[in-house]
Amino acid sequence: MRTAIISDVHGNLEALTTVLGDIDNRKADRIICLGDILGYGPNPVECVELIAQRCEWSLLGNHDYGALYEPTNFNAAAEQAAYWTRAQFDKEPDGEEAERRWEFLGQLRVRCLFNSFLCVHGSPRRPINEYIFPEDAINSPVKMSQIFDLVDHHCLVGHTHVPGVFTNEPEFYPPTDLGGVYKFNDDERVIVNPGSVGQPRDMDPRASYAILDEDEMSVEFHRLDYDVEAVARKIYAIPELNNWLGDRLLEGR
């Protein structure tokens, strides 16, 4: 079985459709989403529709939580974007349609077990909000060992928007160090981050996702060009979305 793992779409429709097209070409058997469908980007409603249609399931991310319930620990630009995002769902004139979308968002899970993989948006101990940063592998060994204590075998996370593989050494391997593919070893625990579809933050603006091959027990990372400028232009045209949200897409930070 080949499972496409996407995360952190953040209302970026151009990036999402590009990634879904690539997933179709590579003939993955299913798609799962690790959360943050919403927040920052200009097309939250369209992205929710596509995720609902195309993904087997999605998790709840902190920005989905922010739009659905309330923004927690957000900076001013993110908070304003969350309220704008909520308003896009609220302005749907068809009451049933609006209800269906809110229901989809309301049933998103905080964590789930997918075969040998524990899946969360943030981290196993704080599923919605905790970041597992690449530098934690070097700077925060206690944090990493506490987190790995909660991982029996493998774990899938998003949230940092930085793709790569954490092992319980602890060590972090970006896809460029792995030649794009990581093969799981029997005796290690591993946390995989597929990176962000809609707002990459590893100084590479291309959309990021991964494909998990459970027969080979490997994960391959993919990067895709999409029309970043078009999305930035949409953001610049929406007063409630801070221009910086467009600028950062162009730079991938």
CB of residue 250 to Zn ion, shortest distance in Å: 18
Kindly state whether residue 36 participates in binding Zn ion, applying the rule CB under 5 A. yes
HEC string of 68-118 equals HCCCCCCCHHHHHHHHHHHHHHHCCCCHHHHHHHHHHHHCCECEEEECCEE
> For Zn ion, which residue of 5, 6, 8, 151 counts as binding (CB under 5 A)?
8
Kindly state whether residue 64 participates in binding Zn ion, applying the rule CB under 5 A. no
CA distance 197 to 5: 10
Subset of 83-142 contacting Zn ion (CB under 5 A): none
Would you say 10 or 154 has its CB closer to Zn ion?
10
CB of residue 202 to Zn ion, shortest distance in Å: 13
Structure tokens at 211: 């494909």
Stretch that binds Zn ion, among 21-29, 35-43, 136-144, 234-242 (CB under 5 A): 35-43
Instruction: For residue 6, give the H/E element and its range.
Output: strand 2-6
CA distance 151 to 155: 6
CA distance 178 to 101: 39
CA distance 209 to 193: 9
CB of residue 245 to Zn ion, shortest distance in Å: 12
Stretch that binds Zn ion, among 28-36, 100-108, 181-189, 202-210 (CB under 5 A): 28-36
Would you say 41 or 175 has its CB closer to Zn ion?
41
Binding site for Zn ion (CB under 5 A): 8, 36
